[in-house]
């Protein structure tokens, strides 16, 4: 049996220039044109005089599909028109589902012709905002429960997708866009570009580029498409740009050694997966280092630093206020980059294996860690102290600070274990005038203490997210 034909055609966002030649040919060849009445104005010059035009109002999609099949089964060639692309919130899915429902697959042939979608037209008018991975979300909850929509919004925001929003606002649907912005604000910086285009490609067209912080949802309506950038998107002289590669990798990494290149890529991955990227840069730099060392994103919750602590210690190093880093164990010392120390003119000292340490520990009945800290304070009271193993080292240091015998330039507090570990960290936190980084709770370790020292001394690499030059 000869199949009858339905062509489902996307006529683009609204400008005659944006209708593809294939769609225009389909319109000219069709006996019946079915569509929303508003869209006929865009194709009227291409409809045959003898063609039957069946138009209907909003929310009559199923009725239009029924009409299309009725005429197709009479042997007519039917063109069902959809704005934008017929497969994106358009008529294509409904036509295919109805064909399956009616069981007439062997009687009707369906062809889908793509069109320029509204989000593509909007993107072109804004610049190049969709240069990387993207998703499209409709805020209309007429056919999709809101909780499912919100779950998709959460995924798009957390996944760092460029996100195009259809149906952002109408008379009866006004609060959903505010909830979406609230979710995105948890994953994007306030200066993230947001562009919107109203009536794309039509005479009433409005194009605006703004930011997440300045965006005003009251300017939107159901004829508007909104595009939210990812964490790499930026505004360049009024053009919304999302780079194809992250951080211009082609030029950034060309002079990096293999070890550094791997480290750079790891840091970028961590940065893109942070639950809350909108934190001060110096703390973020320490946090990324700690996650890189542990592969543990719980560090976001347990890594504490005084406001500006990393910047403060780094500046003190530049100002020559200390030239020595004291560690409680040799494992911390061995993890601090040697090339960096040489470049900056710093030394690392650990007194744990100093012969005087054992003598003092035996004499006073204290641990070697405590004895080592006492000796270190006598010789380097203003050093940067980094503890990654023994809580008693922190307890001793805190006692010496309280007695006025030590005034560290900074403290990295990361002892690990079960006895006196939490208590030692509470003690360290008391000293408000000493900048410090603390791994809270029971976690810590020599590797963490060392990497946190590395983060402090390489803060000048943080802006470009380019670690590892001394690796």
Q: Are 34 and 64 in contact (CB under 8 A)?
A: yes
* Axis crossing angle, helix 391-402 with helix 421-429, rounded to the nearest 10: 30
**What is the model's pLDDT at position 342?**
95
Q: Are 385 and 397 in contact (CB under 8 A)?
A: yes
| 3-state secondary structure labels for all residues of the chain | CCCEEEEEEECECCCHHHCCHHHHHHHHHCCEEEEEHHHHHHCHHHCCCCCEEEEECCCCHHHHHHHHHHHHHCCCEEEEEECECCCCCCCHHHHHHHHHHHCCCCCEEEEEECCCCHHHHHHHHHEECCCCCEEEEECCCCCCCHHHHHHHHHHHHHCCCEEEEECCCCCCCCCHHHHHHHHHHCCCCCCCEEEEEECCCCCCCEEEEEECCCCCHHHCCCCEEEEECCCCCEEECCEEECCCCHHHHHHHCCCCCHHHHHHHHHHHHHHHHCCCCCCCHHHHHHHHHHHHHHCCCCHHHHEEECCCHHHHHHHHHHCCCCCEEEECCHHHHHHCCHHHHHHHCCEEEECCCCHHHHHHHHHHCCCHHHHHHHHHHHHCCCCEEEECCCHHHHHHHHHHHHCCCCCCCEEEECCCCCCCHHHHHHHHHCCCCCCEEEECCCCCCHHHHHHHHHHHHCHHHCCCCCCCCCC
**What is the model's pLDDT at position 2?**
45
Handedness of CA 353, 359, 362, 366 (dihedral sign): negative
**What is the model's pLDDT at position 468?**
86
Neighbouring-strand partners of residue 127: 240
User: What pLDDT digit, counting tens, does each position of 455-469 carry?
Assistant: 999 999 998 888 988
Q: Which residues of the chain have pLDDT under 70?
A: 1-3, 245-256
Name the catalytic one among 187, 283, 289, 292. Answer: 292
**What is the model's pLDDT at position 1?**
36
**What is the model's pLDDT at position 231?**
86
**What is the model's pLDDT at position 247?**
46
**What is the model's pLDDT at position 142?**
85
Is 187 tagged catalytic? no
**What is the model's pLDDT at position 246?**
47
User: What pLDDT digit, counting tens, does each position of 79-108 carry?
Assistant: 999 999 999 999 999 999 999 999 999 999
**What is the model's pLDDT at position 255?**
57
CA dist., res. 157 & res. 322, Å (int): 43
């Amino acid at each position: 049996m000869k199949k009858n034909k339905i062509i489902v055609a996307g006529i683009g966002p609204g400008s005659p220039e944006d209708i593809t030649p294939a769609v225009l040919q389909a319109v000219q060849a069709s006996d019946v044109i079915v569509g929303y009445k508003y869209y006929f104005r865009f194709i009227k010059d291409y409809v045959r005089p003898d063609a039957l035009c069946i138009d209907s109002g909003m929310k009559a999609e199923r009725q239009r599909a029924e009409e299309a099949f009725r005429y197709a089964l009479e042997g007519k060639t039917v063109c069902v028109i959809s704005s934008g692309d017929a497969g994106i919130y358009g008529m294509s899915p409904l036509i295919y589902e109805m064909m399956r429902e009616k069981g007439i697959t062997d009687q009707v042939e369906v062809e889908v012709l793509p069109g320029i979608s509204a989000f593509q037209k909007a993107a072109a008018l804004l610049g190049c905002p969709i240069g990387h991975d993207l998703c499209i979300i409709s805020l209309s909850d007429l056919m999709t429960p809101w909780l499912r929509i919100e779950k998709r919004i959460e995924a798009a925001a957390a996944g760092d997708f460029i996100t195009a929003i259809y149906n952002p606002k109408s008379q009866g649907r006004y609060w959903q866009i505010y909830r979406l912005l609230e979710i995105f604000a948890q994953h994007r910086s306030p200066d993230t570009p947001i562009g919107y285009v109203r009536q794309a490609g039509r005479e009433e067209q409005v194009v605006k580029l703004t930011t997440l912080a300045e965006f005003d949802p009251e300017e939107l309506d159901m004829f508007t498409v909104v595009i939210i950038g990812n964490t790499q998107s930026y505004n360049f002289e009024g053009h919304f740009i999302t780079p194809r590669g992250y951080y211009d990798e082609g030029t950034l990494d060309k002079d990096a050694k293999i070890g550094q290149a791997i480290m750079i890529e790891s840091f970028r991955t961590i940065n893109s997966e942070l639950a809350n990227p909108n934190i001060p840069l110096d703390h973020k730099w320490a946090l990324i280092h700690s996650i890189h060392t542990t592969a543990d994103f719980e560090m976001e919750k347990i890594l504490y630093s005084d406001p500006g602590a990393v910047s403060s210690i780094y500046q003190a190093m530049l100002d020559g206020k200390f030239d020595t880093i004291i560690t409680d164990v040799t494992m911390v010392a061995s993890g601090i980059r040697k090339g960096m120390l040489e470049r900056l003119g710093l030394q690392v000292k650990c007194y744990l294996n100093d012969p005087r340490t054992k003598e003092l520990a035996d004499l006073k009945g204290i641990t070697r860690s405590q004895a080592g800290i006492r000796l270190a304070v006598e010789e380097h009271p203003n050093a940067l102290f980094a503890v990654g193993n023994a809580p008693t080292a922190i307890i001793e240091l805190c006692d010496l600070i309280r007695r006025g015998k030590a005034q560290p330039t900074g403290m990295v507090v990361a002892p690990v274990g079960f006895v006196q570990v939490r208590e030692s960290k509470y003690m360290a936190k008391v000293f408000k005038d000493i900048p410090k980084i603390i791994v809270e709770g029971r976690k810590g370790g020599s590797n963490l203490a060392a990497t946190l020292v590395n983060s402090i001394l390489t803060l000048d690499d943080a802006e470009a997210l380019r670690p590892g030059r001394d690796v």
